[in-house]
Structure 1
Amino acid sequence: MGTRDSILQISEAMNAAVVGQQEVVERLLIALVANGHVLMEGLPGTAKTRSVKTLSHLMESEFSRVQFTPDLLPSDVTGSEIYREQNATFEFQEGPIFGNLLLADEINRAPAKVQAALLEAMEERQVTVAGQTHRLPELFLVMATQNPIEQEGTYPLPEAQMDRFMLYVRVDYPDGANELEILRLVRGEKAGKSSEPTKIAQEVIFQARKEVLAVQVAEAAEKYIVDLVLATRIPQKYEGSLQGWIRLGASPRGTLALDAAARAHAWLAGQDFVSPDNIRAVAPACLAHRIHLSYEAEAAGITRTQVIEELLKQVVPV
């Protein structure tokens, strides 16, 4: 079985286990093969945790979950130095961040110090405890969740940390047909009817990442990526409402994320080159969380995703 076939096998199994969330599954797989982190936003019960746990269950990986709360300490996530009396020495005890897939549940409930520790891990793939640097596993993804409604007792994510998530995924409620299928699926699982899946080796993931990097991006596609990002910074160049909606545009990390995600999207579709359709498909997930809305847009109830959709109408590939 080829590398892509193995990844598509994960996709098929996830869609069977996480009903009605095809876009979420696709975004998680893009993050996996493009080596990026994901921020998932949705109401409770929309299968955010189930999606990540299912992905981990289908791979040879160690799954870690941290329930973020206001009283959480950085050491609860990174680990700490433990004094061993028998040896009279300090020994580092790893925290949950040393797993392969870290589910940061309700990340916006964590205080600033915890978010700062997580920021280093996401960007540098390492943590520093008591002056010592500890490398994280080669396969390391942060998949964070937050509730868009309940904001009491939360700490909004700093812009620097938002920028480190490659993709932003909005998780919505399923429709009626999918809800019925979920009901029957979970009932079957409780009855013990689900079978143990075949796990994909980590080497398959690493090979997939090499193949994604080999996907060709023509100069015209590169220019389209850059034009989209620049349009978030200079919206006055375009007609329509963009100028009044955007207060601050995406950083260069947005450009890099859009390039990597578009290549992953093309690879998953069996292409060896990136087309404008691939770029448009991932643009909302790559750019929505990186722009800052104007006060007028917020007052009018305009969402960041709506802004990116308008952006895609205004900016056309050459």
Structure 2
Amino acid sequence: MSGLHAVPGPGGPGPWPALNALSGDLVGRTREIELLLAGLDCGAHVVLEGPPGTGKTTLLRTIAHSGKVPFVFVEGNAELTPARLTGQFDPSQVLARGYVPETFVDGPLIEALREGGLLYVEEVNRIPEETLNVLVTVMSEGELHVPRLGRVQAAPGFRLVAAMNPFDAVGTARISAAVYDRVCRIVMGYQSEDEEAAIVARRSTQVPGRWRTGVVDLVRRTREHADIRIGSSVRGAIDLVRVATSLARIRGGEPTDWRIGHDAAMVGLSGRISLHESCGRTPESVVDELYVAVFGPQPRPADPQAGDEPGGDATGGA
């Protein structure tokens, strides 16, 4: 447990990693890490709010792994009923043995309660209200009452951490005041350009540094374009670099070749952006516009090496 410390809180003591124990696993996010560790230390339940691809899941998984804390993941969607969240009796076992604790199959919520672990609910503002009410009860009382099973008390260290996309994302709903009243809220926006470039370098293939910087610039421009309602996260840059690398191998070229990079941008970004309905454009046309703005127009056949990178160098710096 090197680098860890246990601080008692309302939810019971829990081993949370020290900040320096996480520095090698995450790029940036120092402030958010500090805030989340403080919330967990004091026994609070937390909501991480921000657009997709801002590292909410990665942050929490890293903290749980570093602290050797049980981590239970729940995918939030409209199909998450209270029974799927809490668990239920096995019908075949009930017929043979009756309603006894041994015939109950724990759902993720009860699993986390019994183990004193982190229950991570992804996209909490997509789940039904009746399921949210179950979570409200657990956050308020630190326990859950299940018919025929009885009372399940939260073991020391249990915390609920939920992630949510902004309300205007498709399929989301507003979170009730009852939920916000029981959680601490941490907003996670997009990271800086340098940090996103470092993430792409860490999670994709090795490519010339200047070209990778251009890819990050391209993706960041999708968040500011007037015709785009929701832009791409850094995942788009990661996939663009990966696709370009594989496509270059297939075509016998380089990822920095204009046409290879352009086709990779279409594959990596056209499905990740959401346009305003009134703009009357296709995602492909917007991606093409942004690609040309960053990497220049397609070179003429007589000058095949020009324009592959910002600044015109096809190979770029390391």
Larger RCO: Structure 1 or Structure 2 (Cα < 8 Å, ≥ 6 residues apart)?
Answer: 1
1:93 alignment partner AA: V
2:108 alignment partner AA: P
- The alpha-carbon distance between structure 1 residues 149 and 110, as it changes in their structure 2 partners (threshold 3 A), is closer
Counterpart in the other structure of 2:54: 46
Counterpart in the other structure of 1:92: 104
1:202-227 superposed Cα distances (whole Å, 9 cap, x missing partner) = xxxxxxxxxxxxxxxxxxxxxxxxxx
Deviation at 1:152, TM superposition (A): 3.4
Counterpart in the other structure of 1:25: 33
Counterpart in the other structure of 1:70: 78
- The alpha-carbon distance between structure 1 residues 35 and 45, as it changes in their structure 2 partners (threshold 3 A), is same
- The alpha-carbon distance between structure 1 residues 81 and 8, as it changes in their structure 2 partners (threshold 3 A), is closer
Taking the TM superposition and a 5 Å limit, the aligned residue runs for 1:1-318 are: 10-83=18-91, 84=93, 85-90=95-100, 91-97=103-109, 98-99=111-112, 100-130=117-147, 132-148=150-166, 150-165=168-183, 167-187=184-204
- Which is worse superposed, 35-44 or 153-162? 153-162
Greater share of helix residues, 1 or 2?
1
Q: Is the 8 A contact 1:14 1:51 kept in 2?
A: no
Deviation at 1:128, TM superposition (A): 1.6
How many pairs align? 187
Deviation at 1:149, TM superposition (A): 5.1
CA distance in 2, matches of 1:41, 1:2: 28
CA distance in 2, matches of 1:62, 1:71: 25
1:128 alignment partner AA: H
CA distance in 2, matches of 1:8, 1:89: 38
Q: Is the 8 A contact 1:111 1:155 kept in 2?
A: no
TM-score (norm 1): 0.54
Question: SS of 1:45's equivalent?
Answer: coil
- The alpha-carbon distance between structure 1 residues 3 and 49, as it changes in their structure 2 partners (threshold 3 A), is closer
Identity of aligned pairs, percent? 27
In structure 2, the gaps of 5 or more residues are 8-14, 206-318
CA distance in 2, matches of 1:5, 1:126: 22
CA distance in 1, matches of 2:48, 2:26: 15
Q: Is the 8 A contact 1:68 1:107 kept in 2?
A: yes
Q: Is the 8 A contact 1:81 1:129 kept in 2?
A: no
- The alpha-carbon distance between structure 1 residues 93 and 16, as it changes in their structure 2 partners (threshold 3 A), is same
In structure 1, the gaps of 5 or more residues are 189-318
CA distance in 1, matches of 2:67, 2:134: 26
CA distance in 2, matches of 1:102, 1:8: 15
Deviation at 1:41, TM superposition (A): 0.7
Q: Is the 8 A contact 1:81 1:130 kept in 2?
A: no
RMSD across aligned C-alpha pairs, in angstroms? Answer: 2.4
Counterpart in the other structure of 1:297: none
Q: Is the 8 A contact 1:10 1:55 kept in 2?
A: no
CA distance in 1, matches of 2:40, 2:90: 33
Deviation at 1:3, TM superposition (A): 6.2
- The alpha-carbon distance between structure 1 residues 179 and 109, as it changes in their structure 2 partners (threshold 3 A), is same
Question: SS of 2:199's equivalent?
Answer: helix
Q: Is the 8 A contact 2:16 2:67 kept in 1?
A: no
TM-score (norm 2): 0.54
Runs of 4+ residues deviating >6 angstroms: 5-8
- The alpha-carbon distance between structure 1 residues 146 and 9, as it changes in their structure 2 partners (threshold 3 A), is closer
Could you say which structure has the larger radius of gyration? 2
